[in-house]
Amino acid sequence: MKKTKSELSIFYETAHAELASAIEMLAACKGTNSPNQALGYFMHAKDEYNHAKFFFNMLSKRGNIASTEIARDFRFTPPSLLTKGYISHKGFLIDTMKLKNFIAFVYTNELLAKSSFENILNLVGRSTEEGKKISIIMKEELRHHGMAKKYFLSHYSALQPWQLMIYRTKETIYNKGRKIYDANLKFLDQLLTPLYRAMAFLAGTIAKKLNLNEFRRKGKNLMNISSFSIL
Ligand SMILES: [Fe+2]
Ligand SMILES: [Fe+2]
Protein backbone atom coordinates (compact mmCIF):
# COMPACT_ATOMS: atom_id res chain seq x y z
CA MET A 1 0.00 0.00 0.00
CA LYS A 2 2.94 2.31 0.75
CA LYS A 3 4.21 1.75 -2.81
CA THR A 4 0.76 2.57 -4.22
CA LYS A 5 0.70 5.83 -2.23
CA SER A 6 4.11 6.95 -3.49
CA GLU A 7 3.15 5.97 -7.05
CA LEU A 8 -0.10 7.93 -6.74
CA SER A 9 1.80 11.01 -5.68
CA ILE A 10 4.39 10.73 -8.48
CA PHE A 11 1.85 9.99 -11.23
CA TYR A 12 -0.40 12.77 -9.96
CA GLU A 13 2.38 15.36 -10.22
CA THR A 14 3.63 14.01 -13.56
CA ALA A 15 0.14 14.04 -15.08
CA HIS A 16 -0.15 17.71 -14.03
CA ALA A 17 3.22 18.53 -15.59
CA GLU A 18 2.38 16.76 -18.86
CA LEU A 19 -1.05 18.35 -19.16
CA ALA A 20 0.40 21.79 -18.42
CA SER A 21 3.01 21.25 -21.19
CA ALA A 22 0.25 20.27 -23.61
CA ILE A 23 -1.72 23.43 -22.82
CA GLU A 24 1.38 25.64 -23.06
CA MET A 25 2.21 24.13 -26.46
CA LEU A 26 -1.33 24.74 -27.71
CA ALA A 27 -1.11 28.34 -26.53
CA ALA A 28 2.20 28.67 -28.41
CA CYS A 29 0.61 27.11 -31.50
CA LYS A 30 -2.19 29.66 -31.35
CA GLY A 31 0.24 32.56 -30.89
CA THR A 32 2.66 31.99 -33.76
CA ASN A 33 2.37 33.42 -37.26
CA SER A 34 4.64 30.79 -38.80
CA PRO A 35 2.77 27.74 -40.21
CA ASN A 36 5.88 25.58 -39.70
CA GLN A 37 6.20 26.57 -36.07
CA ALA A 38 2.47 26.11 -35.53
CA LEU A 39 2.72 22.55 -36.85
CA GLY A 40 5.72 21.84 -34.60
CA TYR A 41 3.94 23.19 -31.51
CA PHE A 42 0.75 21.33 -32.42
CA MET A 43 2.53 17.97 -32.79
CA HIS A 44 4.35 18.62 -29.53
CA ALA A 45 1.02 19.41 -27.79
CA LYS A 46 -0.46 16.17 -29.16
CA ASP A 47 2.43 14.15 -27.68
CA GLU A 48 2.06 15.88 -24.32
CA TYR A 49 -1.71 15.22 -24.24
CA ASN A 50 -0.98 11.54 -24.88
CA HIS A 51 1.62 11.51 -22.09
CA ALA A 52 -0.85 13.17 -19.70
CA LYS A 53 -3.54 10.63 -20.66
CA PHE A 54 -1.16 7.77 -19.97
CA PHE A 55 -0.23 9.12 -16.51
CA PHE A 56 -3.87 9.77 -15.65
CA ASN A 57 -4.60 6.14 -16.57
CA MET A 58 -1.80 4.89 -14.33
CA LEU A 59 -3.11 7.18 -11.59
CA SER A 60 -6.64 5.86 -11.92
CA LYS A 61 -5.45 2.21 -11.82
CA ARG A 62 -3.65 2.86 -8.51
CA GLY A 63 -6.57 4.97 -7.27
CA ASN A 64 -8.91 2.01 -7.75
CA ILE A 65 -6.89 -0.26 -5.51
CA ALA A 66 -6.07 2.37 -2.86
CA SER A 67 -8.41 3.14 0.05
CA THR A 68 -10.91 5.95 -0.48
CA GLU A 69 -9.15 7.96 2.24
CA ILE A 70 -5.92 7.96 0.24
CA ALA A 71 -7.36 8.06 -3.28
CA ARG A 72 -9.41 11.20 -2.67
CA ASP A 73 -6.23 13.23 -2.16
CA PHE A 74 -5.28 12.47 -5.75
CA ARG A 75 -8.44 13.51 -7.56
CA PHE A 76 -7.64 15.80 -10.44
CA THR A 77 -9.36 19.13 -10.87
CA PRO A 78 -8.17 21.55 -13.63
CA PRO A 79 -7.67 24.56 -11.26
CA SER A 80 -4.92 22.61 -9.49
CA LEU A 81 -2.73 23.27 -12.56
CA LEU A 82 -2.74 26.88 -11.38
CA THR A 83 -2.68 26.35 -7.62
CA LYS A 84 0.20 23.89 -7.88
CA GLY A 85 2.14 26.30 -10.10
CA TYR A 86 2.25 24.19 -13.28
CA ILE A 87 0.60 27.05 -15.17
CA SER A 88 1.28 30.57 -14.04
CA HIS A 89 -1.45 32.95 -12.88
CA LYS A 90 0.35 35.58 -14.96
CA GLY A 91 -0.45 33.82 -18.25
CA PHE A 92 0.96 31.31 -20.70
CA LEU A 93 4.73 31.18 -21.10
CA ILE A 94 4.54 32.13 -24.78
CA ASP A 95 2.82 35.39 -23.75
CA THR A 96 4.98 36.20 -20.73
CA MET A 97 8.42 35.15 -22.02
CA LYS A 98 10.60 36.30 -24.88
CA LEU A 99 10.61 33.68 -27.66
CA LYS A 100 14.28 32.98 -27.04
CA ASN A 101 13.64 32.23 -23.36
CA PHE A 102 10.58 30.17 -24.22
CA ILE A 103 12.57 27.90 -26.56
CA ALA A 104 15.36 27.63 -23.96
CA PHE A 105 12.70 26.71 -21.40
CA VAL A 106 11.39 23.93 -23.65
CA TYR A 107 14.94 22.79 -24.38
CA THR A 108 15.84 22.42 -20.68
CA ASN A 109 12.50 21.12 -19.41
CA GLU A 110 12.26 18.35 -21.98
CA LEU A 111 15.61 17.07 -20.79
CA LEU A 112 14.57 17.34 -17.15
CA ALA A 113 11.33 15.50 -17.95
CA LYS A 114 13.29 12.70 -19.56
CA SER A 115 15.53 12.29 -16.51
CA SER A 116 12.57 12.35 -14.07
CA PHE A 117 11.03 9.49 -16.11
CA GLU A 118 14.12 7.41 -15.32
CA ASN A 119 12.92 7.28 -11.69
CA ILE A 120 9.39 6.33 -12.73
CA LEU A 121 10.80 3.62 -14.95
CA ASN A 122 12.61 2.13 -11.97
CA LEU A 123 9.42 2.33 -9.93
CA VAL A 124 7.17 0.44 -12.37
CA GLY A 125 9.90 -1.85 -13.82
CA ARG A 126 11.47 -1.54 -17.26
CA SER A 127 10.07 -4.77 -18.64
CA THR A 128 6.42 -4.16 -17.64
CA GLU A 129 3.89 -2.86 -20.19
CA GLU A 130 3.88 0.48 -18.36
CA GLY A 131 7.69 0.54 -18.36
CA LYS A 132 7.79 -0.02 -22.13
CA LYS A 133 5.35 2.84 -22.68
CA ILE A 134 7.41 5.12 -20.42
CA SER A 135 10.53 4.28 -22.47
CA ILE A 136 8.65 5.44 -25.60
CA ILE A 137 7.61 8.65 -23.82
CA MET A 138 11.24 9.27 -22.85
CA LYS A 139 12.27 9.01 -26.49
CA GLU A 140 9.56 11.53 -27.39
CA GLU A 141 10.81 13.93 -24.70
CA LEU A 142 14.30 13.64 -26.14
CA ARG A 143 12.91 14.37 -29.60
CA HIS A 144 11.21 17.53 -28.23
CA HIS A 145 14.48 18.51 -26.59
CA GLY A 146 16.34 17.94 -29.89
CA MET A 147 13.83 20.00 -31.87
CA ALA A 148 14.08 22.92 -29.42
CA LYS A 149 17.89 22.66 -29.47
CA LYS A 150 17.98 22.73 -33.28
CA TYR A 151 15.69 25.76 -33.41
CA PHE A 152 17.61 27.51 -30.68
CA LEU A 153 21.04 27.01 -32.22
CA SER A 154 19.91 27.97 -35.72
CA HIS A 155 18.17 31.17 -34.57
CA TYR A 156 20.43 32.21 -31.70
CA SER A 157 23.77 30.82 -32.87
CA ALA A 158 25.67 33.55 -31.03
CA LEU A 159 24.68 31.88 -27.77
CA GLN A 160 27.13 29.40 -26.37
CA PRO A 161 26.25 25.96 -24.96
CA TRP A 162 27.25 27.19 -21.47
CA GLN A 163 24.45 29.76 -21.68
CA LEU A 164 22.02 26.92 -22.22
CA MET A 165 23.53 25.28 -19.15
CA ILE A 166 22.58 28.39 -17.15
CA TYR A 167 18.99 28.06 -18.38
CA ARG A 168 19.05 24.44 -17.32
CA THR A 169 20.38 25.20 -13.82
CA LYS A 170 17.76 27.93 -13.41
CA GLU A 171 14.96 25.53 -14.36
CA THR A 172 16.29 22.80 -12.07
CA ILE A 173 16.23 25.24 -9.15
CA TYR A 174 12.73 26.42 -10.10
CA ASN A 175 11.45 22.81 -10.26
CA LYS A 176 12.91 22.11 -6.82
CA GLY A 177 11.28 25.31 -5.54
CA ARG A 178 7.87 24.12 -6.79
CA LYS A 179 8.32 20.81 -4.94
CA ILE A 180 9.15 22.67 -1.70
CA TYR A 181 6.12 24.93 -2.20
CA ASP A 182 3.91 21.88 -2.75
CA ALA A 183 5.33 20.16 0.36
CA ASN A 184 4.59 23.33 2.39
CA LEU A 185 1.00 23.36 1.13
CA LYS A 186 0.56 19.73 2.18
CA PHE A 187 2.03 20.50 5.60
CA LEU A 188 -0.32 23.48 6.07
CA ASP A 189 -3.23 21.32 4.95
CA GLN A 190 -2.41 18.75 7.64
CA LEU A 191 -2.07 21.49 10.23
CA LEU A 192 -5.24 23.38 9.36
CA THR A 193 -7.64 20.52 8.56
CA PRO A 194 -8.29 19.67 12.27
CA LEU A 195 -8.92 23.38 12.88
CA TYR A 196 -11.45 23.61 10.00
CA ARG A 197 -13.20 20.48 11.29
CA ALA A 198 -13.37 21.85 14.85
CA MET A 199 -14.86 25.13 13.52
CA ALA A 200 -17.43 23.25 11.42
CA PHE A 201 -18.36 21.10 14.43
CA LEU A 202 -18.76 24.22 16.60
CA ALA A 203 -20.89 25.98 13.98
CA GLY A 204 -23.07 22.86 13.64
CA THR A 205 -23.55 22.60 17.42
CA ILE A 206 -24.54 26.28 17.65
CA ALA A 207 -26.95 25.96 14.69
CA LYS A 208 -28.61 22.95 16.36
CA LYS A 209 -29.26 24.92 19.52
CA LEU A 210 -30.77 27.92 17.74
CA ASN A 211 -34.49 28.43 18.12
CA LEU A 212 -35.69 28.73 14.55
CA ASN A 213 -39.30 29.54 15.49
CA GLU A 214 -38.41 33.20 15.21
CA PHE A 215 -37.92 32.69 11.46
CA ARG A 216 -41.56 31.69 10.90
CA ARG A 217 -43.25 34.69 9.36
CA LYS A 218 -46.67 33.17 8.72
CA GLY A 219 -49.41 35.10 10.48
CA LYS A 220 -46.97 37.65 11.90
CA ASN A 221 -47.28 41.39 11.56
CA LEU A 222 -43.73 42.27 10.57
CA MET A 223 -44.26 45.85 11.83
CA ASN A 224 -44.64 44.50 15.39
CA ILE A 225 -41.33 42.65 15.35
CA SER A 226 -38.60 44.06 17.55
CA SER A 227 -35.96 46.11 15.75
CA PHE A 228 -33.37 43.81 17.34
CA SER A 229 -34.85 40.76 15.63
CA ILE A 230 -32.71 39.04 13.00
CA LEU A 231 -35.80 38.48 10.84
FE1 LIG B 1 5.77 14.84 -22.05
FE1 LIG C 1 7.80 16.83 -23.98
123-141 pLDDT per residue, tens: 999 999 999 999 999 999 9
Taking the CA of 50 as reference, the closest ligand is 1
Taking the centre of ligand 1 as the mean of its atom positions, its distance from the CA of residue 208, in whole angstroms, is 52
As a 3-state breakdown, the chain gives helix, strand, coil percent values, each rounded to 5, of: 80, 0, 20
Taking the centre of ligand 1 as the mean of its atom positions, its distance from the CA of residue 48, in whole angstroms, is 4
Taking the CA of 142 as reference, the closest ligand is 2
pLDDT at 222: 73
Sorted by sequence, the CB contacts under 8 Å of residue 127 that are 6+ apart come out as none
Kindly report whether the global pTM for this prediction surpasses the value 0.85: no
203-214 pLDDT per residue, tens: 888 877 776 676
Ligand 2 is an ion; residues with CB less than 5 A from it: 110, 141, 144
Taking the centre of ligand 2 as the mean of its atom positions, its distance from the CA of residue 4, in whole angstroms, is 25
pLDDT at 214: 66
